[in-house]
């Protein structure tokens, strides 16, 4: 309506000029057109519609209905110009441009940019991805191919990385229960719902993705879970493509797809052929990504580190070597993030390697050459049974000793296989269980836990300890692929975690207990609170008629494997248990290891 045009008057100061919104959007559209991804219509129109208008369609996906070709239907609550608090709020600052008159002007432009590029009405730049490929995809796996094209378009045109919610929309997200992890928490900007993210990085989503192929996702009864699985598998596939080949070649890929199917839907084979035109070998990189249920699974060797000869300018050089094996028959991709420390300033230095393909059931050796000695390496494995980054310790380097080995800066094939580490039982193994002698395990009987997610049968730890065992992912935990622990609040000894193993023969067996760091929770992420203080625990060993208890002070233990004791044990089943009785604020059960002693 004409009278609604007055809402735009307050934004005139940020629209024009070299740094105005019109120029920013124009430059983006021009760049897209130069790469063969031009906007296909003569105009783009935003239409204000009543807030109560249903904004999604039918079918299992319940996709947005707010973006017909060349249009964006914007609910009334989506353009909050009558609320000055929005653009006076410093949280919306985007960095004042030299030509913008004030911080308030900067926030106004930032808000409009979010509205156009990020938020729109469905909290996603759906107009970008739908206008780039208006016909979508067709044929077997069409839904996954369409989703992949959307995500790649968002990352290429808008440079939005690591958020599949910006490319995929489903009304299922608005129906999730109101628990602590629910994104439907508040109403902002005149009554519009806060962004409702797809939540693919949850254990139950991973468990489903590990058994359901992309071609079968639509058959899942839970449409919201189907969207999460789609976002997880396709989102990680998009990361693999963009990290392996870069944005420029991804733009070439998308342009080749546009040329191949200007008016028809995209077929899965079109993606592979367009990749060849763009200089990509997607078949080798991704394998049968549409029909596969298997995922790569990576194990890494201990890191080897030493100093090598200085470069031509006299700058010191340090070599780090690590071998990585993919145990599964499907291909995968890994990359490393290295953390060093600069001697002159004592500041940490972060760097990332190129991604390295690892074929199925094979190994590679990766070498990194740096000018500063490394402290930590992080293994990043994309879509894999590892699920998350893993922290690899780097041994200290004797800077006075030069190694004359030929430097390796990159990757080469290897025949490495992990060596036996004894008899190990991890918290994810079948030999691990939890039990209670009283009513300590009350999970599922309170409203707060009614909708909580579980991870292999245990509730997911969300930062609050309870009187039942919970599972937490930790990058310093032990694990063949995934790294997790069980943990519980202190109690009276009425709830135990039990590790059961089979000893092949009678003899002297050494028991080791793995202790992770509770401070390191992810790549670049640390956390610590009173609930993370560990103390004395009681380790009970039972085998046949043998029953012994050893006090173990976790607070004094090293991160990694710690010896408990050596026991004379018979062949057969042996159990190791720890209870919730402790002098600390939590008990952590990660992994135990038995090895034969003379």
What is the rounded CA–CA span in Å between residue 161 and residue 309? 38
Q: What is the pLDDT of residue 33?
A: 81
CATH of the domain at 395: 2.60.40
Predicted pLDDT at 448: 47
Does 410 lie in the same domain as 428? no
Q: What is the structure's pLDDT at 345? A: 79
What is the pTM (predicted TM-score) of this model?
Answer: 0.84
* Domain endpoint, select from 232, 266, 293: 293
Cβ neighbours of residue 382 under 8 Å, at least 6 residues apart?
A: 236, 239, 240, 243, 332, 333, 334
Q: Are 449 and 562 in a shared domain?
A: yes
pLDDT of residue 10: 65
Whether 251 maps to a domain, the answer reads yes
- Would residue 129 count as lying in a domain? no
205 and 189 together in one domain: yes
What sections of 119-201 are H helices per DSSP? 126-132, 142-157
User: How far is residue 526 CA from its own chain's centroid?
Assistant: 16
Binned average pLDDT, 10 residues per bin, the chain of 598 residues:
60 73 77 79 79 76 76 67 50 51 68 53 46 74 89 74 58 53 34 44 91 93 88 92 93 89 80 94 94 95 96 93 97 96 84 95 97 94 95 94 94 95 96 72 44 84 93 96 97 96 97 96 87 95 95 96 97 97 97 96
pLDDT at 582: 97
pLDDT of 193 reads: 36
Domain extent, residue 558, equals 423-597
Query: Are both 243 and 386 inside the same structural domain?
Result: no
Residues 358 and 250 in one domain: no
Q: What is the pLDDT of residue 131?
A: 60
Q: Is residue 560 part of a domain?
A: yes
Write the DSSP symbol of residue 296: -
Residue 460 and residue 410 share a domain: no
Strand partners, 497: 434, 578
441 and 376 in a common domain? no
CB–CB of 157/148 below 8 Å? no
Q: What is the pLDDT of residue 84?
A: 52
How many domains does one find in the chain? 4
Q: Which of these three, 100, 122, 144, is where a domain ends? A: 122
H or E segment and range at residue 284: helix 282-286
Q: Is residue 127 part of a domain?
A: no
Q: Decide which of 414, 433, 454 is a domain's last residue.
A: 414
For residue 32, give the H/E element and its range: helix 21-34
CB atoms within 10 A of CB 62: 19
């Amino acid at each position: 309506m004409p009278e609604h045009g007055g809402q735009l008057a307050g934004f005139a100061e940020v629209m024009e000029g070299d740094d105005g919104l019109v120029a920013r959007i124009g430059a983006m559209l021009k760049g897209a057109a130069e790469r063969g991804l031009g906007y296909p219509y003569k105009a783009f129109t935003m239409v204000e519609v009543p807030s109560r208008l249903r904004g999604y369609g039918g079918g299992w996906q319940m996709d947005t209905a707010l973006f017909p070709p060349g249009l964006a239907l914007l609910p009334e609550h989506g353009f909050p110009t009558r609320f000055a608090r929005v653009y006076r709020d410093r949280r919306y600052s985007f960095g004042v441009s030299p030509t913008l008159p004030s911080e308030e002007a900067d926030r106004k432009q930032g808000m409009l940019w979010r509205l156009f590029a990020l938020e729109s009405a469905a909290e996603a730049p759906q107009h970008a991805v739908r206008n780039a490929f208006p016909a979508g995809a067709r044929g077997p796996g069409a839904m996954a191919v369409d989703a992949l094209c959307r995500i790649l378009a968002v990352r290429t045109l808008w440079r939005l990385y690591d958020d599949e919610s910006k490319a995929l929309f489903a009304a299922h997200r608005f129906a999730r229960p109101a628990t602590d992890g629910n994104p439907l928490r508040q109403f902002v900007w005149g009554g519009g719902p806060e962004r409702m993210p797809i939540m693919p990085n949850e254990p139950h989503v991973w468990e489903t993705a590990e058994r359901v192929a992309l071609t079968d996702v639509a058959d899942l009864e839970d449409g919201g879970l189907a969207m999460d699985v789609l976002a997880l598998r396709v989102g990680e596939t998009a990361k693999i493509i963009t990290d392996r080949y870069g944005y420029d070649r991804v733009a070439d890929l998308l342009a080749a797809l546009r040329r191949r199917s200007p008016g028809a839907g995209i077929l899965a084979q079109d993606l592979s052929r367009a990749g060849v035109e763009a200089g990509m070998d997607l078949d080798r990189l991704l394998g049968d990504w549409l029909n596969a249920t298997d995922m790569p699974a990576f194990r890494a060797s201990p890191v080897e580190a030493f100093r090598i000869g200085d470069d031509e300018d006299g700058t010191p050089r340090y070599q780090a070597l690590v071998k990585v094996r993919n145990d599964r028959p499907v291909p995968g991709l890994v990359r490393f993030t290295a953390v060093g420390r600069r001697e002159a300033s004592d500041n940490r230095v972060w760097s990332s390697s190129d991604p390295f393909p690892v074929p199925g059931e094979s190994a590679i050796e990766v070498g990194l050459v740096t000018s500063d000695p490394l402290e930590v390496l992080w293994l990043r494995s994309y879509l894999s049974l590892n699920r998350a980054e893993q922290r690899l310790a780097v041994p200290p380097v004797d800077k006075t000793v030069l190694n004359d080995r030929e430097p390796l800066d990159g990757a080469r094939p290897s025949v490495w296989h992990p060596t036996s580490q004894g008899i190990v039982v991890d918290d994810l193994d079948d030999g691990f269980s939890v039990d209670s002698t009283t009513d300590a395990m009350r999970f599922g009987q309170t409203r707060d836990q009614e909708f909580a997610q579980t991870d292999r049968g245990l509730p997911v730890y969300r930062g609050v300890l309870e009187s039942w065992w919970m599972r937490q992912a930790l990058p310093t935990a032990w694990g063949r692929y995934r790294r997790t622990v069980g943990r519980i609040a202190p109690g009276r000894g009425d709830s135990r975690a039990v590790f059961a193993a089979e000893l092949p023969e009678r003899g002297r067996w050494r028991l080791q207990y793995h202790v992770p760091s509770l401070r390191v929770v992810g790549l670049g992420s640390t956390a610590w609170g009173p609930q993370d203080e560990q103390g004395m625990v009681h380790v009970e060993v039972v085998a046949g008629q043998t029953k012994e208890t050893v006090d173990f002070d976790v607070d004094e233990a090293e991160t990694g494997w710690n010896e408990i004791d050596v026991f004379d044990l018979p062949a057969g089943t042996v159990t190791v248990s720890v209870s919730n009785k402790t002098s600390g604020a939590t008990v952590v059960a990660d992994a135990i290891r038995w090895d034969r002693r003379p």
